[in-house]
Structure 1
C-alpha cells in the first residue's frame, strides 16, 4: 500500500471500440465478485510480472455479449485501478481486456488541488475533503498554543454539507479529523500531543511527498512530526506519514469513499509507549456543531448506539446528523490488521458538551502500545461520507469490499 515514490499517472478517456475493429489484446482480466454482492466497487491489480509486455499505452474495455465497452482506468506504478460499475451479484465473473493502443488523454476527473496552504480533493466540481498543511490559527482571543497544521477539515458530504468542525468552544484543540496521541511515555516523561493546552507536545506538518489524480483516484502523501516539549527544547518523537486516496463514486453519487493510511516510526532511539488511555491516536473525529443529541445518531457494527457505544469494540461506526440542508453522515471502518482490532471507540455521551459529537477509534483504550526505534507501524481506516443514510446491509457490503475485495486474475497473451 505504501509508496513513497511519486505516483506516475496515466489518465485514459472513454473511447469507442466497435466490434469490427481488430485490436491487439494484451491481456484478459477476470474479476470474480465472490460471496458478496458488489456495488460500485474499486478494484485493482498489479501488472508487475515477468510475462507482462511493456507498452507505451493501453486501453481497458469490458466484454459483454461480444461488445467491448470502454472503461476509464488509472495506472500508477505497476498497479491498474478501475471501478466495478453498477451492481455485480455474488458469484459473478466480469471480463475485461487490456488492448494495445494510443489512449485519448483528458483532464482528470478525480482531482487534488493545491490552494497555497491546503490540498483539496474533488470529484468533478464536488468537494470531498481538504487537508490543511499550513498552520491554522485559533479564533481571535484564543491562546496561540492552539494553532495547528496537518489535519483534515472540512470533510464534505456529496451534497455539500460540512461534516467536520474545528476549534469548537471549550475544545479549541479539536481539529476535524486528526489523530495525535494523548497519554504517552517518551524519554522518561509523560507527553500529551493531543491536549495542546498542557504544552507538552504538538503535531506539525513537515512536507508533501506526492500527489496524484486521474479519472479514478486522487490522493496525496504527507509527512508530520510529533514534537515533544521537554525542558525548553523540542524533540521529534514520532515521524508520521499520512496517505489519503479518494475514489470515483461510479454510478452512485450519494457517497464519497476514501482510504486513510497512517504510518508511524519512532524518531528517537529511546522508543515511545502509548499508554493505556480512554482516547488518543487512531482516528479522531469532531463533527459539525449542528449535529447534537437531538438530531444525530450513532450506530456500530455491534448494534451499539450513542447511549452505550463508548468503550466497546466496533468493526465500523456510523454517525448521522441533520441540518437545515437535510441528513448526512460519515462511516468509519477499522481494518482488521490494525493494532488491537477491532479497536474500541470513544464516543461522547449525549449529555456532555452541548450534545455535540466527538468520536475516536482509540487503539490504546484497552492496552498500551510500544513503538521501537527502527520499526514501522501502520493503521488503516476506510471512510464513507454520504447523503441521507446507509442501511446496515449496505454497510456490510462496503465492509466486505474493504476486507475482502473482488478477486482479480490477469491472463497475459
Structure 2
C-alpha cells in the first residue's frame, strides 16, 4: 500500500507532536540509587549523594567508624567535589552530616559525633518518600539516633530529614534541608552545650589556608570566625583550574539564631577546612516527648565566585519562607 502525500504529512506531524510532548515531560533532575547511595542527577552529573547503606571505614581502621545517613559527594555543576569523608585526621567526618556530640539520655551522657568511642551512632532507617517534579527533586528519610553504650542498641531520638534540590540556575543550585526531631521513648533527650555539634561540613582535600577563604554574615574570616555567630557562611576556593564553593544559610526560626559556629582556624589540621552550625554551642536544648523540634538550612552550591552581597540576598529570600 502506498502512502499519499497527505498521510505522510500527517504521520510527520504526529511524530513531531509526540516528540515534543516527550521532551516536555522530561525532568531537569532525576534520582539514581546505586551502590548504597541515592544521587540527584542533572545532565548525567550527580549533584548530591546520600549514603543510605552502611559504609565501612578504610581497611585497617576500627569498624566502629562505619556509618550511614550522611551526604557525600556534594558536587558543583561543573563536577567539582566539595566534600570529603574518612580523612585520616578524623575518620568520623562524613562529608555533610549533623550529629550531636554531648547529650544526656536516661541519666547517661552520650556522644553521637565521635563514633569511635562506641557510645552511640546514627543510622539510616528507611526512606519515607521520593518525589521529582518539573521544578525540584525531594526525598525524605528517617534517621535513628541509637545508644550503643552498655550494648543497649536503643533508639533514643528519631529524626525525619527532608531534602529538596531545586533545578539549577546559571552556575549554582540550591539544596533545602529540614530536620524534624522527636523523642523515640517516653524519656526526654537533652543536648548539652558543647563547642561543636549539629550540621557540619568537611570540605574537599583540595582546599587549604592558601587557596580558600570564608566570610560570614558578620564579616568574620577564618582568622576570627570561630566562636562567633552567623546567619550564613560563604566558603569558596580553587577547584582544579576553576573556582567554586558553598553558602550555608541558617533559617531565622532556628534554635539560638543567629547560630554559634565552629570554624577550624588557620593552621589547624594542616589547613584543612571544616565549618559547623552549632545551635547548642552556647546553651542546652531539651527535647520533650510528644513534641517536634525543627531546624532548617539552605545550601547554595556554586561554580566561580560569589560575593557577601549575594549571600545576604539568598538568606533574605530563604528566611521569608
**TM-score with structure 1 setting the length:** 0.71
CA distance in 2, matches of 1:190, 1:316: 31
SS at match of 1:204: strand
Q: 1:116 to 1:208 in 2, by over 3 A?
A: farther
CA distance in 2, matches of 1:104, 1:289: 39
CA contact (8 A) 1:196 1:202 kept: yes
What does 1:328-339 correspond to in 2, within 5 Å?
328-339=244-255
Which residue, out of 165, 168, 178, partners 2:97?
A: 178
Aligned to 1:21: none
How many pairs does the alignment contain? 301
Which residue, out of 240, 261, 264, partners 2:181?
A: 264
Which structure is higher in RCO with an 8 Å CA cutoff and minimum separation 6? 1
CA contact (8 A) 1:112 1:219 kept: no
CA distance in 1, matches of 2:246, 2:239: 14
Aligned to 1:147: 66
What displacement does 1:248 show? 1.0
Query: Structure 1 residue 188 and structure 2 residue 104: aligned?
Result: no
Aligned to 2:158: 239
SS at match of 2:86: coil
Aligned to 2:278: 362
Gaps of 5+ in 1: 1-101, 406-413
CA contact (8 A) 1:204 1:225 kept: yes
Which residue, out of 258, 277, 299, partners 1:383?
A: 299
**TM-score with structure 2 setting the length:** 0.91
Root mean square deviation of aligned Cα: 1.5
What does 1:4-403 correspond to in 2, within 5 Å?
106-250=25-169, 252=170, 254-281=171-198, 283-403=199-319
Gaps of 5+ in 2: 1-20
What displacement does 1:105 show? 5.5
What displacement does 1:103 show? 11
CA distance in 1, matches of 2:113, 2:167: 33
Q: Deviations over 1:371-399 (max 9, x none)?
A: 01111011000001111111122222212
CA distance in 1, matches of 2:60, 2:22: 55
SS at match of 1:329: strand
CA distance in 2, matches of 1:325, 1:241: 39
CA distance in 1, matches of 2:109, 2:70: 24
More helix by share: 2
What displacement does 1:160 show? 0.5
Q: Deviations over 1:211-243 (max 9, x none)?
A: 111221002101110001232221101101111
CA distance in 1, matches of 2:245, 2:91: 23
Range moving further from structure 2, 206-215 or 112-121 = 112-121
CA contact (8 A) 1:345 1:362 kept: yes
CA distance in 2, matches of 1:304, 1:192: 29
CA contact (8 A) 1:257 1:383 kept: yes
CA contact (8 A) 1:176 1:286 kept: yes
CA contact (8 A) 2:213 2:236 kept: yes
Aligned to 1:48: none
CA distance in 2, matches of 1:395, 1:349: 22
CA distance in 2, matches of 1:232, 1:381: 34
Aligned to 1:66: none
